[in-house]
Structure 1
Amino acid sequence: MGAGPALTADPDVVTCTLIPRYEAVKAARDFTRSSLQRWGLADLFDDVALVASELVTNALRHALHLRAGDPEGRIPRQGQSDSPDLPIRISLVHRSPQVVCAVSDPSSTGPVARDADYIAESGRGLHLVDSFSHSWGWHPLAGAGKVVWALFDSHGAAAPADSGGGRHRRA
C-alpha cells in the first residue's frame, strides 16, 4: 500500500509514503508495528497504532477535499485512480525516552477537536489522539500542507489527561 519505508541515515527516523486509499490505514499500522518491533518497543504498538490510524484517516478524509472534482473528500478504493500529487506520509521518530508519530498531508487546514457527540458516527478521533498520547499538535509546512504529530513516552503508558481542557498545542 505504501511506497515502503524511506531509507535514512538515522535508524531511529523512519518514513513511509502512503497511497491515498482506504488501505493506507492498514499500511500505516503495519509500518508502525514493524518499526516499533525493530526498536524493541512493541509494547507501545496498541497506543501508537490507534493514533496513527486516526491521524492517517483524518489526513485521507480532509486532505482529499483538495482533489479536483471531489468536494466530499471521498477516499478511492483499491483499483481506483490514485493521485500522486497528494502525498500523505507517516513518520516515526524514536528519541529515547520518547516516540513521535507524525502524519503529513497537503491540506493546510489544522485539525480541530469537536465537542463529543455520542451518537455521531465520526468526530471523536482527536479525542482518542489526546487520550492515548502524551501530547499532540500540528505545524504548517512551508508552501502548503501540515504535519500532525503525537508524542508517546516509551518508558510507560501515556500520561493521564489534565483537567485543564486538553494538552495539545500548536507551536
Structure 2
Amino acid sequence: MGTEGTPMLDLLRHQVLPVDMRTLSGTATLALASRPESVRRARDFTRSTLHGWRLPEQFDAVALVVSELVTNALRHGVRSVNGSSGEHAGDYEPAPAPTAVELELMRYSGRLVCAVHDPSELAPRVGEMDGAAESGRGLHLVECFSDGWGWRPLTGERPGKVVWAVFRTG
C-alpha cells in the first residue's frame, strides 16, 4: 500500500479521462493478491482513503464500483492469464500471484478516479442483463453508480489493462 508514485493513468495520458493531470491532489495504491478476501481488502482501503481525503459521502458508490472492478479483474483478468477463460467461475482456482491486481484511487479537482490494473489484455465485456443470473451485472453496476468508465490496454513494461471509473466529487 502506498500513497506516492506515478499514477498508472499517467501511462495512458489524456486519452482516457476528462481530467487535467495538473489537478491531481492525491493518489493511493494497493496491490492485491489473487484471493477472494482481496475484494474486502480493497473496500477497506477505499474507506480509509476516502476518509483521509474527507470524502466519506462518496464511499457507498465508490466501494460498490471498486468491488465490481476488483472482482472482475480477479475472476476474468487473472484467470485469462493463468489459462482459463473464466466461463466456469466455480471450476477453476487461479494460481496465486504475489500481486495479481492493483487498485489505485486518484483525487483530482472535482473528480475521483478508481483504476484497476490486471495482467490480461482482454477487453472487459458488458454482459446481457439477466435478472435471474447470479453474475454478469458488474459493469452495468459500474455504469450506473459512476459518472463514466472505460478501459485501456497497457503497453511496454506493464502488460495488461486498466479499467477505470470516474466520480464527480462536487
TM bucket by the smaller chain? 0.7 to 0.9
* Contact 1:61–1:75 under 8 Å retained in 2: no
RMSD across aligned positions (CA): 1.9
In the alignment, is residue 129 of structure 1 matched against residue 142 of structure 2?
Answer: yes
In the alignment, is residue 63 of structure 1 matched against residue 59 of structure 2?
Answer: no
Counterpart mapping for 1:54-93 below 5 A: 54-65=68-79, 66-68=81-83, 72=86, 74-75=92-93, 82-84=96-98, 87-93=100-106
Secondary structure at the aligned position of 1:116 is classed as coil
Greater RCO (CA < 8 Å, at least 6 residues apart) = 2
CA shift digits 1:88-139 (9 cap, x unpaired): 0000000020000000000101111122011111001000000000000001
Secondary structure at the aligned position of 1:6 is classed as coil
* Contact 1:51–1:128 under 8 Å retained in 2: yes
Counterpart mapping for 1:24-63 below 5 A: 24-63=38-77
Question: Any unmatched runs of 5+ in structure 1?
Answer: 156-171
Residue number among 136, 140, 161 corresponding to 1:146 in the alignment: 161
Quick one: which amino acid aligns to residue 147 of structure 1?
V
* Shift in CA distance, 23/75, structure 1 to aligned 2, threshold 3 Å: farther
Give the number of the structure whose residues are more often helix, by fraction: 2
* Alpha-carbon separation, structure 2, partners of 1:130 and 1:67: 28
CA shift digits 1:48-98 (9 cap, x unpaired): 000000000000000232225x5556346xxxx6222x6200000000200
Q: Which runs of 4 or more aligned residues in structure 1 lie more than 2 Å from their structure 2 counterparts after TM superposition? A: 70-76
Identical positions, percent:
48
* Alpha-carbon separation, structure 2, partners of 1:12 and 1:75: 35
What TM-score comes out, normalization by structure 1 length?
0.78
